[in-house]
Amino acid sequence: MTFIRHLATIAVWVILVTIGGIAVGSALGVLSLHHIETSSMEPGIPQSSLALALPTPADRLAVGDVVVIDDERRGTFAHRVHTIEPDGALRLKGDANDATDPETYRPAGAPRIVGHVPLVGAPVEFVLTPPIRYVAMLVFFVGLLIYARPARRRPRETEPEQVGAPADA
């Protein structure tokens, strides 16, 4: 039982440190989280995945990188860099799409996706909406306080006197 408890404690701390690192990195602008809402990047990135992206200057982007574009007409979407035009414009294509996007993009930089977790995009997006975010933060910190509280020590039981043993004077 003790081994399982230690293993669970380690797992909880790994999860908390990971979540904390992502939250701090996101707050500092070092990384960003993106909900992949459509299936245009399947099978590489399934629909409703949560993607982790690093800000990348346009001159550091390469063919094959998956980038997040914020377009006025199409909204925010993730597609793979298919080609880079001589003038530096990006031609993008979703992995599930037959053709490249008709327009090119010339961002100064774009978040480049470096990893993803399937199926958690929508729940995380929901939790990150402002009213829910504050409730989630409260629950997280209260749970952390409850989990991290010192364990109560049971008073030691006194050993029973042995029958027939001589009494100390």
Task: Please give the helix or strand (H or E) that residue 92 lies within, else none.
Answer: strand 90-93
What would the mean pLDDT of 140-165 be, rounded to a whole number?
A: 70
pLDDT above 70: percentage of residues in the chain: 88
| Tens-place pLDDT, residues 94-113 | 999 999 999 999 999 999 99
At residue 19, what are phi and psi to the nearest 5 degrees? -60, -45
Dihedral (C-alpha) 104, 109, 110, 115: value to the nearest 10 degrees?
130
- Whether the full predicted model's pTM is greater than 0.95, yes or no, is no
- Locus of tokens 């004077």: 169
Average pLDDT of the residues of the chain: 85
Token readout for 12 is 């909880």
